Amino acid sequence: MLTVNMLDAKTSLSKLVDAVENGSESEIVIARNGKPAAKLVPIDVPPRKKRRLGLLAGKYPPMDFEAFQAMDAEIEATFLLGSKET
């Protein structure tokens, strides 16, 4: 555990944060007039969840390119239903 006085902490804050962030220091105590005033510690970040690929595999029927293109007219009609062409 590293202890740093307030003036040194002000002038080298980014270095102190880097030290805590990369794990070279587990915590840093900032002292005022020789007495501990604050503690700089890393934030606990939960590990990122793994993404599952193919989650919807088999839930929808297979569609070939021609069937996909055939849906264009239906989709266009849905979006243009309320609008008038000029």
Which CATH number fits the domain that encloses residue 34?
Answer: 3.40.1620.10
**What's the pLDDT at 13?**
96
pLDDT value at residue 4: 96
Closest to 5 in 3D by CA, of 40, 22, 29: 29
CA distances from 79 to 38, 55, 62, 71 (A): 59, 29, 25, 13
Is residue 46 in a domain? no
Confidence of residue 53 (pLDDT cuts 50, 70, 90): confident
Q: Which residue range forms the structural domain that includes residue 32?
A: 2-40
Q: Is residue 54, in this structure, part of any structural domain at all?
A: no
Residue 8 lies in a domain: yes
**Domain count for the chain:** 1
Cα distances (Å, whole numbers) of residue 80 to 69, 74, 75, 77, 83: 18, 10, 9, 5, 5
pLDDT at residue number 8 = 94
Is 11 within the bounds of a domain?
yes
**CA 79 and chain centroid, separation:** 34
For the segment 21-25, the average pLDDT, to the nearest whole number, is 91
- In this model, does residue 86 exceed pLDDT 60? no
Helical H segments across 1-49, by residue range? 6-11, 13-21
